[in-house]
Structure formats: structure tokens, C-alpha cells
Amino acid sequence: MNGNMNIYYDKEGDYLEIFIDGSGQTYGEEIGNDITLLKSEDNDEVVGITILNFRRRTDSLADVKLNLPFKVNFSEI
């Protein structure tokens, strides 16, 4: 799936969502306690994930790191 990755966190609802923008209609498939995969209705490809009670799973939001599958060199931008 191609597209921009979006990360949304709702502090009040303690809800994290990571998904590919422009993925169209999706449906959820629960894979664990408060964790749901978002899949494309067109081809069943995984296009995102949601995590309820996210803050309870970490000591600090500063501990959350995102490892991208590529290297970024901002000095060339």
C-alpha cells in the first residue's frame, strides 16, 4: 500500500491510530487485547493499527519510538 503514514493519538480517549492515508474503506480485525488491525475492504491488505488504552502500555510517551523502513538525510533537503 502506498501513501502517507498518519499517526493520531487521542489523549482523552487514550487511543492511538497509525494508518496509511488514502487507503479507502477499511474494516477492523481484533488481534489482541485492545489492538485492532485495519484492513482494506478492497484487498484485505493491512493498512493500519489501532491501540486502545495506549498510555497504560508505556511508562512515558517519550518512550515511544517510530522506526521507519528507510533512512532520512535532512541535510540534503
Residue scoring higher pLDDT (38 or 68)? 38
With 80 as the cut, is the pLDDT of residue 32 above it? yes
Q: How far apart are CA 41 and CA 13, in angstroms?
A: 26
Beta carbons within 10 angstroms of residue 69's beta carbon? 4
30 pLDDT band, cuts 50/70/90, is very high
Report the alpha-carbon angle 42-48-51, nearest 5. 135
Q: What is the mean pLDDT of the chain?
A: 81
Domain boundaries, the chain: 5-76
pLDDT tens, 5-17?
A: 888 889 899 999 9
Query: Nearest CA to 32 among 63, 57, 64, 14?
Result: 57
Q: How far apart are CA 66 and CA 36, in angstroms?
A: 18
With 50 as the cut, is the pLDDT of residue 77 above it? no
With 70 as the cut, is the pLDDT of residue 1 above it? no
